């Protein structure tokens, strides 16, 4: 409707602003698609911000840690993985322990323990132990090793996207520390009945547990951004237009 008198300039500017607001215009996400991260606890969306080394960013709603700047720790991952592969071979070749009882001497390896579980009709336990302590740890270290070597040489692995996605899928299933705890408890109980001596395989497996635990604690998300890949599912989501939550380290949540 046309008014019989002109509106002041400030009123016309406000009207133009309202008209612009009323028109639903899709705005592109600022930056790359990895600029947003979702809190795993409350699903609040945050804009990913650059923070100082070893500093943590927390959710502004519930305070849960979102991520930590561990970009320089990626250089430590290569020696950890290579050393872990060497120790892994030792842990699977040499016996875990030697038992002396009734004049008999018996040595068992990691694979021997898995076979023993199968022989006692514990198929599910045997398969679970084989996957979580033998197969998945080996796969995790094996897929990361060539990728980290290429990074150390200043190159990019041709299958970097596939390798990192495979590592993200395998990572939660490498649970050698749980098996190590079970082995220690079992050996303590067996030592009450027979003479027991820890062998090289057990010490190698203990070292593997330490190396792999440290390697698994290193966040691979800086690696994803370093080679320009989209983060794996669960670590980020595409944020809708209008979400303006930002993760800021050291800031008190409202």
The residue with greater pLDDT, 5 or 214, is 214
Mean pLDDT of 76-101: 86
CATH 1.20.140 describes domain 74-218: yes
Q: Which of 96-100, 198-202, 250-254 shows the lowest mean pLDDT across its residues?
A: 250-254
Question: What confidence tier does 238 reach under pLDDT thresholds 50, 70, 90?
Answer: very low
Mean pLDDT of 108-127: 82
Most confident option among 49-63, 94-108, 125-139: 125-139
E strands, the chain, are 36-38, 45-47, 56-58, 65-68, 97-101, 104-108, 195-198
Quick one: pLDDT at residue 206? 87
| Chain segment 138-169, per-residue pLDDT in tens | 888 888 888 888 878 877 777 777 878 888 88
- In angstroms, how far is CA 127 from the centroid of its own chain? 23
pTM: 0.60
E strands, 48-120, are 56-58, 65-68, 97-101, 104-108
Quick one: pLDDT at residue 87? 92
Quick one: pLDDT at residue 219? 72
Mean pLDDT of 212-239: 62
Round the average pLDDT of the chain to a whole number and report it.
Answer: 70
Q: What is the separation, in whole angstroms, between the first and last Cα of the chain?
A: 45
Distance between CA atoms of residues 235 and 229, nearest Å = 13
Quick one: pLDDT at residue 16? 46
The residue with greater pLDDT, 210 or 195, is 210
**Per-domain residue ranges of the chain:** 29-70+233-254, 74-218
């Amino acid at each position: 409707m046309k008014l019989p008198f002109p509106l002041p300039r400030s009123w016309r500017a406000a009207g133009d602003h309202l008209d612009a607001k009323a028109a639903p215009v899709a705005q592109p996400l600022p930056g790359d698609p990895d600029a947003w991260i979702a809190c795993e606890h409350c699903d609040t969306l945050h804009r990913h911000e650059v923070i100082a080394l070893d500093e943590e960013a927390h959710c502004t709603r519930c305070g849960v840690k979102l991520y930590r700047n561990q970009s320089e720790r990626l250089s430590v991952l290569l020696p950890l993985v290579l050393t872990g592969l060497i120790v892994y071979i030792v842990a699977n070749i040499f016996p875990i322990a030697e038992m002396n009882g009734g004049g008999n001497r018996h040595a068992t390896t990691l694979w021997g323990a898995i076979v023993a579980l199968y022989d006692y009709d514990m198929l599910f336990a045997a398969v679970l132990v084989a996957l979580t302590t033998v197969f998945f740890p080996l796969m995790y270290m094996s897929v990361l090793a060539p990728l980290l070597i290429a990074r150390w040489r200043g190159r990019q692995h041709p299958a970097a996207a596939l390798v990192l996605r495979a590592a993200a899928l395998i990572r939660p299933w490498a649970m050698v520390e749980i098996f190590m705890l079970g082995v220690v408890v079992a050996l303590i109980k067996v030592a009450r009945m027979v003479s027991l001596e820890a062998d090289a395989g057990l010490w190698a497996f203990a070292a593997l547990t330490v190396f792999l635990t440290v390697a698994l604690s290193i966040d691979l998300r800086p690696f994803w951004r370093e080679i320009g890949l989209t983060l794996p599912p669960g670590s980020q989501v595409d944020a809708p237009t209008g979400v303006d939550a930002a993760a800021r380290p050291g800031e008190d949540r409202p």
